[in-house]
Structure 1
């Protein structure tokens, strides 16, 4: 049986957004703080996610795009291209595109979706 997908949010995205997202989607959503990843480097987080398998990382950090392009999926990635803003504005930006992005990542070979 295939493991369920999980969404992991990078440290550059507030745990408050993880909470809102968890209530919005039908997948487990975990912030880097909940995962105790806030002190780890991007490559370490990427490798843990790769070993785990069915992970969608959400980050504003270009390093994850580079790692995914170079090392391949999993994990899959939603790259957020909006600049600094408050949590509500960021959540509104992500929410508009989130369900379609998750569907595409979990049901196709697409490895990276950029939300600009």
Structure 2
């Protein structure tokens, strides 16, 4: 990956996921706790990430999606849609996909990736949606990865 993105994991994702991203994939990942963001609002985190221009927030919280849709990127977002699950299961689903998701977000016209994880362990394939800016202020269109 030519661009070196910083991955900021939201408080709703365990710091162990950031550790595994570093240890197993050599990604530049940081948990909300190591960044001391655990007591900040989503808007404050957005404001802190915006000036650097190279932050991808990974969250299970829809508020970041709404902020980036309304106020624009950077930062970019991987929005994980999954119910409660243990860290090992979450990592087993994210690990095979994370580098491709980062690569897709490296495209200038993609700001948000919705990563839909189905807790049905019989279905090994997650679903994706990619959000691209469209003409007009603060409007976006979605396209499913299955359509690509």
Common fold: TM-score over 0.5? yes
- In structure 1, the residue matched to 2:4 is 4
For residues 8 and 77 of structure 1, the distance between their equivalents in structure 2, rounded to whole angstroms, comes to 9
TM-fit CA distance, 1:51: 1.7
5+ residue gaps, structure 1: none
Task: Provide the TM-score with structure 1 as the length reference.
Answer: 0.92
RMSD (Å) for aligned C-alpha atoms: 1.6
The size of the alignment, in residue pairs, is: 115
Which of the pair is proportionally richer in helix?
1
Report the structure number with the largest CA radius of gyration. Answer: 2
Task: Provide the TM-score with structure 2 as the length reference.
Answer: 0.73
5+ residue gaps, structure 2: 117-148
* Bigger RCO of structures 1 and 2 (CA < 8 A, at least 6 apart): 1
- In structure 1, the residue matched to 2:24 is 24
- In structure 1, the residue matched to 2:54 is 54
Give 4+ residue runs of structure 1 displaced > 4 Å after superposition. none
Q: Name which of structure 1's ranges 102-111 and 36-45 shifts more when overlaid on structure 2.
A: 102-111
- In structure 1, the residue matched to 2:40 is 40
